[in-house]
Chain A
Amino acid sequence: MNWRPRSSLALLTLALGAAAAGWVRGEVYQEADAFVAEVFGTVPAPKVLWLTKDIQAQAAAILGHPPAQLRQRYWSDAHKSVWILEEIGKEELITAGFVVADGRIDHVRVLVYRESRGQEVRYPSFLKQFKGAKLAQGARLDREIDGIAGATLSVGAMERMARLALFFDRMSRQ
């Protein structure tokens, strides 16, 4: 096609219109406080899991790299615990909330997704696969998580965080 100012203007108008429509939707899907409050009704006092050398070693085995933190804040009652974790997908951190009840994943939510591709990991159709998952031998999940084409690394990050949340929950109850 030859360069046509009219068609280019129309495309630009379309882009800006779409942009205006989408402006209100940000990448922070839910604040962590709101997520915790949703689980417990109110935000309870946080607790802290100290990452001893042994815990650090096991967390490193799960993540494939040493954990960046020396302590992990969490919220819990007698049955369930909430963990806000962050892990790099391809190159940016994904922030996700994990609810663990009686040693199994109760539900998962992506709170912040920063990369320009791979947002499909935040949809319920993907996250519902984690419901009921528990740690199996080798600190792996007891099930296969179906991936999303083009979002392999983000899927891997979500799976690693789920395993870490289950492991931290186990450690917090010892």
Chain B
Amino acid sequence: MKKSSLGVALAAAFAAAPAFGQATVDQKLQILQQEIDDLKAQARRSAAPTQQASPYSLDYGSMLDRSSGLASGGTHVVGYGEVGYGKFRRSGDATADLQRFVFGFNHRFDERLTFHSEVEFEHAVVSKADEGEAEIEQAWLNYKMSDAVNLKGGLFLIPLGILNETHEPPTYYGVMRNQVETRIIPTTWRELGAGVHGVVGEGLRYDVGITTSFDSGKLDERTTGIRSAHQEGQQANARDLAVYGALNYRRPGLLVGGGVFTGNTGQNGVSNSALQGVSARLTLWDVHAQYRVGGLDLQGLYAAGTLGDADKVTAAILAAAPTPADAFAAPKTLKGGYVQAAYHVYKRGNFDLAPFVRYERIDIKQQEDPANGQLQDPNNIERVKTIGVNFWVHPQVVLKADVQRYATDKSQDRFNLGLGFMF
């Protein structure tokens, strides 16, 4: 839009002043404002003919300068993070840790096509000598055909459980993420693939797709179920793929849903030659529910899974280990669940205080090989009680404190403090 055009239009508006008759100053201002809105709309169209701004932001004069949320060209920065302190009861040891800081860039190409990403740094320092990790947690494209149909592709989160897709610290109770959605459902769990998702009816969300699978040849942790075999989009062996599906029904205060993921994990022995020709099918599924009414907040989840050919996977781990003591029995069946209750006892302004309790059970049965000394690890049968409090000083910033008691691995008994945020 040329300045001269704006000038002509304004001059024309003033020239028409006699036509106002006895119009009040307010009426004249409204007419001039209409002229300005029309000119701005014209300017926007002239400047970017291929970009369609939200009609409402111009015609209704509400968000004239907030171009980031309009139909195209917006790039947003998002992020979340958490700091934790844990003091262990038995040993007296204590640690403080920047558990994670995550930031992401989300970009809108046009009305339908968007990009979503998250880059995560764990434990503050990433170097060869430190524990920290840097990883891409998500990097995917979404093509929105309608609310009912979205196509996505890239590295995205698998829709199992509650925590895996919604894991920002202010959205869950407790300093530590729950054990069931860590050791049975390997949160934060993402795969490379493609999927279709959307909302149908009034609040029924579906999500189905085909993705990379696990690689049993990469199993290297004995107490985290199948977790260490997920490939996280890092040069993933993709001879064996997986499919997933999830349904979640949401209405105010209520969430009921579940999901399933299944695929072979042998990957034709690329990571461990002893698994050549072995299917090692993994199936994980879950059901969950959340109910919030008044100040009460209830949540429950049950997750289970099986790993086929677990005897062959155990043998493969043993074959690859430097010594039998370095090997372990592969997980054969996994199941676990938790129930959680919280009550918002104080809400004023942004302040929100909610004590909570949670009880978890984890049961990971391993494929033993007694002849070679590979036995069930007792720590894979666990009960965890957590009691604590979340205190939101803002809907997106939370302080947390809790006490945890483990029935089997009592060295994990601890007191936790945490600070979490998201934006």
Contact = CB atoms under 8 A, between A and B. Distances in A.
Interface of A: 1-3, 8, 11, 14-15, 18-19, 21-27, 31-32, 46-48, 68-69, 71-73, 84-86, 88, 90-93, 95, 111-114, 116, 119-120, 123-126, 129, 138, 140, 144-153, 156
Given A84-B56, A120-B199, A125-B252, A25 B146 contact: yes
Interface of B: 29-30, 33, 54-57, 59-66, 69-71, 74, 76, 78, 106, 108, 111, 114, 116, 142, 144-151, 162, 165-166, 171, 196, 198-199, 202-203, 208-210, 213, 238-243, 250-255, 262-264, 281, 290, 292-294, 349, 395-396
Given A8-B210, A92-B69, A149-B166, A19 B151 contact: yes
A91 B114 CA distance: 12
Contact of B196 (A3, A18, A92): A18
Residue among A14, A23, A119 with most chain B CB within 10 A: A119
B289 to A, nearest CB: 10
Q: Which 4 A-B pairs have the closest CB atoms?
A: A22-B149, A93-B69, A25-B146, A149-B255
Contacts of A95: 54, 56
Given A91-B78, A144-B294, A119 B199 contact: yes
Nearest to B395: A156
11 contacts: A11-B243, A18-B149, A21-B148, A27-B144, A91-B106, A93-B57, A93-B70, A95-B54, A147-B292, A149-B166, A156-B395
B288 to A, nearest CB: 10
Contacts, number: 170
Given A2-B264, A68-B66, 16 more contacts: A1-B240, A1-B241, A3-B239, A18-B149, A21-B149, A26-B146, A68-B65, A69-B63, A72-B61, A113-B147, A116-B142, A125-B251, A146-B252, A146-B253, A146-B293, A150-B255
Given A22-B198, A23-B145, A93-B69, A32 B60 contact: yes
Residue among B33, B74, B146, B262 with most chain A CB within 10 A: B146
Given A1-B241, A23-B146, A148 B250 contact: yes
The A contact surface, by secondary structure, is mixed
B73 to A, nearest CB: 13
Nearest to A93: B69
B63 A71 contact: no
Nearest to A94: B69
Residue among A1, A21, A149 with most chain B CB within 10 A: A149
B109 to A, nearest CB: 13
A111 B395 contact: no
A52 B165 CA distance: 42
A47 B166 CA distance: 42
B149 A19 contact: yes
Contact of A68 (B63, B74, B151): B63
B149 A84 contact: no
A146 B60 contact: no
B147 A3 contact: no
A150 B66 contact: no
A71 B61 contact: yes
Given A26-B146, A72-B61, A84-B62, A3 B162 contact: no
B209 to A, nearest CB: 8
Contact of A138 (B108, B203, B349, B395): B349
B210 to A, nearest CB: 6
A168 B114 CA distance: 34
Given A95-B54, A147-B252, A73 B60 contact: yes
Nearest to B293: A146
Residue among B60, B253, B262 with most chain A CB within 10 A: B60
A1 B196 contact: no
Contacts of A25: 146-148
B151 A111 contact: no
B264 A1 contact: yes
Contacts of B171: 152
Contacts of B111: 27
A171 to B, nearest CB: 15
Contact of A86 (B30, B62, B149, B255): B62
A148 B202 CA distance: 13
Contacts of A22: 145-149, 198
